[in-house]
Amino acid sequence: MLEPVRRTYSSPLRAESARRTRVLVRDAAARLFVDRGYVRTTVRTVAEAAGVATRTVFTAFPGGKAELFHEALAAAIEGGDDSMPTVYASASRDGDPVERILDEVVGYGADVLERAGTLMLTSIKSSGADEDMRRFAEEGARASAANAMTLAEGLAAHDLLRPEISVQRAADVLFTVVSPQVHSMLRHDCGWDIDEYRNWVKAMIRASLLH
């Protein structure tokens, strides 16, 4: 007699429910990481904030807190419709190329920091107390430095940097000015609004790097 074929049961409703639970848990964790810090946040407190069982958190995120933080940060960074601008594309369009480049570069950086800056800062602040956070902070710094170098190379290629400014110096300035630390100090500690912050970053880049 032939064995009955076992079929994998897949329910769209069940999959959607699992996705919603995952988002609910992830967002609750993101709030706690920012409010309490990574070290003080536990899977149990995430479960309580999300209104689910601790077992549900581990089912959705088997990697525990580290996976939760990674997912929360990735969702915040990727949460907008924007993509990193290129100096080459910006400079090729009509109008003042310098102003357009500044608008696009600073606008992109500010939007990412508005969404993800507090989580980035959480990893930096917790890096001395937790190995996972140290890894996240180091990876974030490398990615930011690489983006800054790409933009600096674009500025140099279009002869927008002052003669005494090297590409590396320009990358260092961009890396520093458009950083989660500076963003947090001005936006949260000093209470600047987003337009004040953007205008300051543009002015700093102009004064420090450009003709």
Arithmetic mean of pLDDT over the chain: 90
**Residues spanned by the domain of 61:** 12-68
| Coil vs helix vs strand at 211 | coil
Burial class (CB in 10 A: 0-12, 13-18, 19+), 125: middle
Burial class (CB in 10 A: 0-12, 13-18, 19+), 5: exposed
The pLDDT, as a whole number, for residue 93 is 55
The pLDDT, as a whole number, for residue 204 is 96
- Quick one: tokens of 147? 């983006």
pLDDT tens per residue across span 56-113: 999 999 999 999 999 999 999 988 655 566 665 555 455 677 888 899 989 999 999 9
Contact 144, 73 (CB under 8 A): no
Indicate whether 40 and 83 sit together in one domain: no
- CATH code: domain of residue 45: 1.10.10
Indicate whether 45 and 125 sit together in one domain: no
- List the chain residues with pLDDT less than 70: 1-10, 80-95
Write down the pTM of the prediction.
0.83
Q: Is 1 part of a structural domain of the chain?
A: no
Quote the number of domains for the chain: 2
List all residues 6 or more positions away from 8 whose beta carbon is below 8 Å from its beta carbon: none
The pLDDT, as a whole number, for residue 101 is 87
The pLDDT, as a whole number, for residue 14 is 85
Question: Residue ranges of the alpha helices (H) in 127-166?
Answer: 131-157
Phi, psi of 135 (to 5 degrees): -65, -45
CA distances (Å), origin 211, targets 19, 159, 160:
50, 9, 6
Contact 128, 182 (CB under 8 A): no
The pLDDT, as a whole number, for residue 98 is 85
Q: Is 102 part of a structural domain of the chain?
A: yes
Indicate whether 91 and 132 sit together in one domain: yes
Radius of gyration of the chain (CA): 22
The pLDDT, as a whole number, for residue 12 is 85
